[in-house]
A and B are shown apart, each in its own frame.
Chain A
Amino acid sequence: MDVLSQLIGGFAVALQPMNLFWALIGCALGTAVGVLPGIGPALTIALLMPVTAQVAPASAFIMFAGILYGALYGGSTTSILLNTPGESGAVMTALEGNRMARNGRGAAALATAAIGSFVAGTIGTLALTFLAPAIAELAFVFGPEDYFALMVLSFTSVAVVMGRSMVRGFTALFFGLALGTIGIDTQTGQTRMVFGTLELLDGVSFTVVLVSLFAIGEALYVASRSGTVPAAINPLSGGSWMTRQDWARSWKPWLRGSVIGFPIGALPAGGTEIPTFLSYALERRLSKHPKEFGHGAIEGVAGPEAANNAAAAGILVPLLTLGLPSTATAAVLLAAFQNYGLQPGPMLFATNPDLLWGLIASLYIGNLILLVLNLPLVGIWVRLLLIPRHYIYGGIVVFALVGVWGLSTSWMDLLLMCGLGLIGYVARVYDFPIAPVLIGLILGPQAEIQLRRALAVSQGDWGVLVSTPIATTLLSIAFLVLVVPPILARLRARPKAEPAISAG
């Protein structure tokens, strides 16, 4: 088989000691970057660009691939242990992961995240190796109306993360939607809700919202609840490894997460966040232990973590096969290729097979390195929580400052950080869920843009929204997701002659 022989050639490149060394550096760096709030793989690779001017392209890209995957491994760690996701793809992981950690099951959560990332990363890389050209064609099939349908499906399925009460969940969601409307409307160039400040023209940075609501809100909350009490031994420390039951409950979510993550990641407007939303929602519906969700269900960690790693492999598909950047990280990688005078795409597979297949082979190796690096680290990470609390949270606040101030040294961003941090605190006190804010902020603008694009192309004909099989299918699923569970609940409740109480 042609692909196989080329892949073997790729391994010959990737297994050179020098390249293995770069892979290791990249993985370690990526893990570190993933842990830091606000500093993502895109920024890191951009910063390392000049450093690699002296390095051969194959080595540089092998390192970059390590950073890309490593950031996802690292991102889950702070989510689970400290409830402060470092990357947007790790928001859903925090929901169940942090609950598990509080129940003393942090090690199991970290392990299922790491192994799930490995499984999904490997599946994603396999799919990238053998299916890339076919999957890449999806980019041309999906139109604005299909993306809109995908966003609608995401909205309806994440209704399950609304928390204890629907009113609070919707308040959080609308708050996120409101934040998402701030800035210039790209379709008309009009400014919206900027209150006369130039700094808000580009909208509220996702990083600032993520860091403030989670890291700052958490720091304020924990300070107010336990600051005056002498730091006891942290209840999070130690904890048991994955049990047999954990394995049994994890492997299916890993596989399902991979299947959701890879194709969506491969779409030009897909990204790594939407698959984590969908995976979480799906696991919650399919779980045999739905009562545990919200209190530390391992499926809720395994699924989203697998989904975001598979999606990361997915974003390489349009980049390598078409030269099409779909996320910020992919755009930086594209710039790196261009720095070497290379243009990713079908031509590059013909002219530089060593480089590309070396890169693909290094993804397998990088995944393995990350697993080997991260599994033993689980014990160390968990023990990190034995550091006195005041240093942990002092450090979180300083790193949050680095992430927020470092973006654009904007005073307005600092002000937003304080304001949103306070709101994050209030949300925690009064039990408002935070994930819907991020979901609204990510999906809202996307849904609006895709809807208006679709309508612009159709010149205002709403029929366009159901004009393709993909859009129709996705919208139907979205409808069913919304309608079927309450009906089922009612049917189930009736024979027992108990009053049906729908969720919320």
Chain B
Amino acid sequence: MLRRLMTTGALALVLSTGMAAAEPAKVMIPANPCGGWDGAGRHTMAAFAQSKVFTDGASFTNKGGAAGTIGLAEFVRTSKGDDNALLVTGVIMVGGVITNQTPVSLKDTTPLLRLTNEYNAIAVPANSPIKTPQDFIAAMKADPGALSVGGGSAGGADHVMLALLAKHAGAPVAKINFVSFSGGEILAALGGGKIKAAISGASEFRQFAETGRIRIIAVSGPTRVDGLNAPTLKESGIPVEIGNWRGFVGAPGMSEAAKKTWLERFAKLHQTPVWKETLKTQGWEDAYLPGDQFAAFLKAEDASWSSALKEVGILK
């Protein structure tokens, strides 16, 4: 008797703790806690709450791995038609879908908007003879193998950017010498002159550039970055623009009404001072691009990444 009582007690306890949930946004983060996507999801939702644009709260699910494609697959599988389900996405997922050749892709979701961007920069050691983007292109053309360029993982935005630069220089893309680094090691290697150049997020280079250990020679966005004394690639006559953008997509089969509501909420958020402050502290560029424009942008990204990844030999 006592035993049965305890068993039912256990069941009751388990059930009762599960009850305390409201009807918040369900945000899937396709990465592990801490890191870019996690920050994009959580800081955006925090800004929603703080600016009182959307106050119903948010619950987060972290599902990391394989450049976000595991989270994407899980999102598509579990949240069909859920008007409150959002997925944090970004350029890395676009690349991941292509390289991993996953059965599901961003086409299976409801595109909402692009929200932020972090542009890349090219940096060289302080005493490097390479001073301008043109020097870099020339060095690449002369001997692509001798120009060892550090960056993130192979097949990522840094690698693709180098491939696009090589293509512009007329150097054989298969001959570029891309050296993959993770975390802060790339800064140490560049500052110590172990590699000839590096491509990474502009904000990562900032501090080392300010202390004079490295020199930023170009940024990859459409405009110059505040406080960085470096030209854009575009103004140097190199038509390469690439950035680590992030945004949101909705559940597959999200209703038109819900899509409209979310886009209005994001539009409102985008105007608030809270959001401007968030952009500033996180070092994100404003890259607001909503609705259909975003859907078209996704298509274009898919095409340019597919061809770039083919040329660097990642995609067979």
A and B touch in the complex (CB under 8 A): yes
**CA gap between A141 and B73 in the complex, in Å:** 43
Once the chains bind, are B188 and A324 in contact (CB under 8 Å)?
A: yes
Distance of B160 from chain A, by nearest CB (Å): 11
Once the chains bind, are A198 and B154 in contact (CB under 8 Å)?
A: no
Once the chains bind, are B194 and A143 in contact (CB under 8 Å)?
A: yes
**CA gap between A347 and B100 in the complex, in Å:** 42
Whether B237 sits at the interface, judged by CB under 8 Å, is no
User: With A50-B42, A186-B182, A408-B62 in contact, do A456 and B210 touch (Cβ < 8 Å)?
Assistant: no
Whether B153 sits at the interface, judged by CB under 8 Å, is yes
Whether B282 sits at the interface, judged by CB under 8 Å, is yes
User: With A142-B188, A268-B184 in contact, do A323 and B179 touch (Cβ < 8 Å)?
Assistant: no
Whether B281 sits at the interface, judged by CB under 8 Å, is yes
A residues near B207, Cβ cutoff 8 Å: 322-323, 343, 345, 347
Once the chains bind, are A202 and B66 in contact (CB under 8 Å)?
A: yes
Contact of A338 among B180, B189, B208, B282 (CB under 8 A): B282
Please name the residue on chain B nearest to A343 by beta carbon. B207
B residues near A338, Cβ cutoff 8 Å: 281-283
Distance of A263 from chain B, by nearest CB (Å): 14
**CA gap between A202 and B34 in the complex, in Å:** 16
Q: Which of B191-244 contact A (CB under 8 A)?
A: 191-195, 206-208, 210-211, 213
Distance of A106 from chain B, by nearest CB (Å): 33
B residues near A46, Cβ cutoff 8 Å: 33-34, 38
User: With A144-B194, A338-B283, A341-B281 in contact, do A325 and B34 touch (Cβ < 8 Å)?
Assistant: no
**CA gap between A141 and B211 in the complex, in Å:** 17
B residues near A408, Cβ cutoff 8 Å: 32, 62-65, 70
Q: Mark A59-100, 1 if CB is under 8 A from B, else 0.
A: 000000000000000000000000000000000000000000
Whether A459 sits at the interface, judged by CB under 8 Å, is yes
Once the chains bind, are B211 and A346 in contact (CB under 8 Å)?
A: yes
Once the chains bind, are A457 and B184 in contact (CB under 8 Å)?
A: no
How many residues in B have their beta carbons less than 8 Å from beta carbons of A? Answer: 54
Whether A407 sits at the interface, judged by CB under 8 Å, is yes
**CA gap between A410 and B32 in the complex, in Å:** 12
How many residues in A have their beta carbons less than 8 Å from beta carbons of B? Answer: 52
Once the chains bind, are B184 and A198 in contact (CB under 8 Å)?
A: no
Whether B146 sits at the interface, judged by CB under 8 Å, is yes
Q: Mark A327-349, 1 if CB is under 8 A from B, else 0.
A: 00011100100111101011100
Distance of A56 from chain B, by nearest CB (Å): 16
Please name the residue on chain B nearest to A335 by beta carbon. B34
B residues near A143, Cβ cutoff 8 Å: 189, 192, 194
User: With A43-B33, A186-B154, A331-B183 in contact, do A141 and B192 touch (Cβ < 8 Å)?
Assistant: yes
Q: Which of A425-459 contact B (CB under 8 A)?
A: 449, 453, 456-457, 459
**CA gap between A318 and B184 in the complex, in Å:** 9
User: With A46-B33, A50-B46, A202-B64 in contact, do A268 and B148 touch (Cβ < 8 Å)?
Assistant: no
Please name the residue on chain B nearest to A457 by beta carbon. B148
**CA gap between A285 and B314 in the complex, in Å:** 47
Distance of B153 from chain A, by nearest CB (Å): 5
Whether B185 sits at the interface, judged by CB under 8 Å, is yes
Using CB atoms and an 8 Å cutoff, list the residues of chain A in contact with chain B.
42-43, 46-47, 49-50, 53, 139-144, 184-189, 198-199, 201-202, 268-269, 318, 322-326, 330-332, 335, 338-341, 343, 345-347, 407-410, 449, 453, 456-457, 459
Contacts A/B (CB < 8 Å), 12 sampled:
A46-B38, A47-B33, A53-B46, A144-B189, A186-B182, A189-B159, A198-B73, A324-B187, A326-B185, A339-B281, A346-B211, A456-B148
